Structure formats: C-alpha cells, structure tokens
C-alpha cells in the first residue's frame, strides 16, 4: 500500500487546480486503484472543515512536500504547489548535473585507492622477496613503499574529511554556520557559485509565479527547510528595507561577486530577463569547473597507475636480466 502520491498524480492535481477547480472537486477526479485511501484522507479533512493542506503535504513526494510546507505559510495552495514543483525540478536538474560531472572521477579515485591499498597489503611483500634474490640494496623500494602508503592514507583522509563536511552541510542547523565560515576564503568557489545560482533561480521562479521582487523575498525568507536560501533572502530583503537598490542589495560577500556585475548590466540595459540568465551562466560555469576537476583526478590516477605498472614490470623483469648475464 502506497504512503505517498506519485509525482504524475501531483502534476495532474496542479493542472486541475489551475483550471479553476477547488481541491474538494479535484481530488475525486484523480482517484484510481492504489491512491483512493490517500485521497480519502484529504477529503476527510475537508469534510471536517479543515483545509487539508497539512495532510496533503504529508502525502506528496518528499522534495515537493518540504517546499510546499514553507510556501503554504504565505501563499494559497495553487500558487504554492506550482512554485514547489518548479523548485523541485530545479533542484533535481542541479543534482543531476553535479552527479554527472563528479560521480565517475570520485568512484575512479576511490576504487584506485582501494586497489593500491590491497596491492601494498598483499602484493608488495611478494615483490620485495623477489627483489632480495637479485638485489641487496632495497632502499629505493622501501622509500617508494613509504611514499605510496602516505599517498594512500592521505587521500583516504581527505575523502573522509570531505564526506564528513558534506554530511554536516546536509544538516540544516549547520549549513549557514559552515557557509559563513568558508565563504570569505572561497570566493567564487563551487559552494558559493551553487548557492548563488540556487538563490537567484528560486527568486526568479517565485517572480514568474506572479510575485513581486519583495513578495518573492518574503516567500524565500520563510524557507526554513532551506536555511541558506532563507538566510540570503533575509539579508537582501533587509537591504531593500534600508533603501538600497537592487545592485547594492545583492552586493553581499556571501554571494558570487559576478552577480553584482550581472545585475549592473541588467539594470543599465533595462533587461530584467538578463538577470534570469545568471543562473544558467553559473550552472555552466559549475559544470566546466567540475569537469576540469574530474579530468585532473582522472589524469592523476591514470598517470600514477601507469607509473606503478612500469615499476612492477621492471621488478618482474629482473630475473630475465639476471639470466641474460649468466
């Protein structure tokens, strides 16, 4: 028995609401085998005089429900559901782009390190035993093994620290703290570019739904489930309250410095659509940067494995060299 509605069913519900049907009349039109018990829970709330919105949130896909819960505090259901869908699609597109660029290099690095660790654990001693039969001075090979171990454990440690940082960043109560600590030292870094692009993209999504700039910021401020977006919206909105213009409002050292210049061009060209292209431009910049990092990781792994294979080949070739000298 399903516990949540499918995304397609949610899209159909949004289409019915946008056509002008109230929620109580739209729900029975979606009924089919497998979702009747879910829709009935919402209808029971409506018949009892409740809005049914809280129950609806609990039955939507998790990504949409998180946004909808915050949006319903300041918007009616139809507008909130529309924005929640667009935000989830935007998030899914960014996650997909990130995984596409980074998954293979990271797995390649992890598997390569694991292979090197197993080689050092089980294979290197056998090679050293072979060397002792033909060569008495093993200093170079001992130093090489020490360097190999330092490299393996050093990279493992970096990956573990990166994993811990990633898990901490997923905790909502830690995101803003970590971002504020790292942003001043990582100007135009990957995290800052990603956050700036998400903020502007979410702002544009709210604006496209018919909200004014200030109203859109009020909506984003209510996003407690997205603390970084809420934090940035708060400070931009406070700048507006103090009489700052658009260009000054986004001039925060927590945002990408290029954003201010983009706003400057958009205002002087009287082209507000140009601002919406900032997110597209920044996403492309992120893709290129992640691609370069991935290519560097792959090149480093391939070169080191190649060097290691040559090293092993030379050791295995020693018996043939010894036999040729007899």
Global pTM reads: 0.71
Together in a domain, 108 and 184: yes
pLDDT-derived band at 268 (thresholds 50, 70, 90) equals: low
Please indicate whether residue 79 or residue 213 has the higher confidence score (pLDDT). Answer: 79
Q: Are residues 101 and 201 in the same domain?
A: yes
For 127-169, write each residue's pLDDT tens digit.
777 777 766 567 777 888 888 889 888 888 988 888 887 777 7
pLDDT at res. 134: 67
| Burial label, 273 (beta-carbon count in 10 A; 0-12, 13-18, 19+) | exposed
In this prediction, what percent of the chain has a pLDDT beyond 90? 1
State the chain's mean pLDDT as an integer.
80
What is the spatial distance between Cα 219 and Cα 69, in angstroms, rounded to a whole number?
A: 11
Choose the final residue of a domain: 60, 76, 97: 60
* 152 plus 21 within the same structural domain: no
The whole-number pLDDT of residue 229 equals: 86
Same domain, yes or no, for 36 and 95? no
Q: What pLDDT is attached to residue 55?
A: 79
Point out the least confidently predicted range of 110-114, 312-316, 319-323: 319-323
Q: Report the domain count for the chain.
A: 2
Distance of alpha carbon 139 from the chain centroid: 46
Say if residue 250 is in the same domain as residue 294: yes
Q: Do residues 320 and 184 both lie within one domain?
A: yes
Among 208-222, 255-269, 284-298, which stretch is predicted with the lowest mean pLDDT?
A: 255-269
Residue 324 is predicted with a pLDDT of: 63
Based on the domain organization, do 89 and 30 belong to the same domain? Answer: no
Task: Tell me: pLDDT of 79 over 60.
Answer: yes
The answer on 184 and 279 residing in a single domain is yes
Q: What is the pLDDT of residue 267?
A: 60
* φ, ψ of residue 96 in degrees (nearest 5): -65, -45
pLDDT in tens, 186-232: 777 788 888 888 888 888 888 777 777 778 888 888 777 788 888 88
* pLDDT > 70: percent of the chain: 90
Asked whether residue 25 falls in the same domain as residue 165, the answer is no
Residues 141 and 73 occupy one common structural domain: yes
Residues spanned by the domain of 112: 66-326
Rounded to an integer, the average pLDDT of 285-292 is 86
Say whether pLDDT at 270 is over 60.
Answer: no
Paired tokens of 27: 């729900």
Both 187 and 87 in a single domain?
yes
Q: Is residue 275 over pLDDT 70?
A: no
The pLDDT-based confidence of 326 (bands split at 50, 70, 90) is: low
pLDDT band at 181 (very low <50, low <70, confident <90, very high): confident
72 and 188 in a common domain: yes
């Amino acid at each position: 028995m399903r516990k949540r509605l499918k995304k397609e069913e949610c899209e159909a519900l949004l289409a019915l609401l946008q056509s002008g049907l109230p929620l109580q009349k739209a729900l029975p039109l979606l009924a089919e085998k497998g979702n009747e018990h879910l829709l009935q829970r919402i209808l029971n709330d409506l018949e009892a005089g409740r809005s049914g919105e809280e129950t609806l949130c609990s039955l939507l896909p998790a990504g949409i429900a998180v946004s909808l819960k915050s949006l319903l505090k300041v918007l009616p259901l139809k507008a909130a559901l529309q924005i929640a869908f667009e935000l989830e699609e935007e998030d899914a597109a960014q996650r997909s782009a990130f995984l596409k660029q980074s998954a293979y290099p990271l797995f390649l690095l992890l598997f390569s390190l694991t292979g090197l660790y197993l080689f050092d654990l089980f294979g290197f001693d056998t090679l050293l035993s072979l060397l002792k039969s033909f060569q008495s001075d093993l200093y170079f090979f001992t130093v090489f093994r020490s360097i190999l171990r330092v490299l393996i454990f050093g990279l493992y440690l970096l990956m573990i620290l990166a994993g811990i940082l990633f898990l901490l960043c997923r905790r909502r109560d830690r995101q803003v703290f970590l971002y504020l600590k790292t942003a001043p030292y990582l100007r135009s870094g990957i995290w800052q570019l990603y956050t700036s692009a998400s903020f502007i993209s979410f702002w544009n999504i709210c604006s496209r739904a018919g909200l004014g700039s200030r109203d859109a910021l009020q909506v984003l401020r209510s996003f407690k489930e997205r603390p970084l977006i809420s934090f940035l919206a708060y400070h931009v909105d406070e700048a507006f309250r103090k009489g700052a213009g658009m260009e000054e409002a986004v001039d925060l050292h927590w945002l990408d410095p290029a954003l201010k210049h983009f706003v400057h061009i958009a205002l002087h060209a009287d082209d507000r659509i140009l601002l919406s292209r900032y997110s597209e431009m920044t996403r492309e910049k992120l893709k290129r940067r992640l691609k370069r990092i991935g290519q560097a990781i792959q090149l480093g792994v391939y070169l080191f494995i190649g060097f290691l294979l040559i090293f092993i080949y030379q050791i295995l070739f020693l018996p043939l060299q010894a036999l040729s000298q007899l």
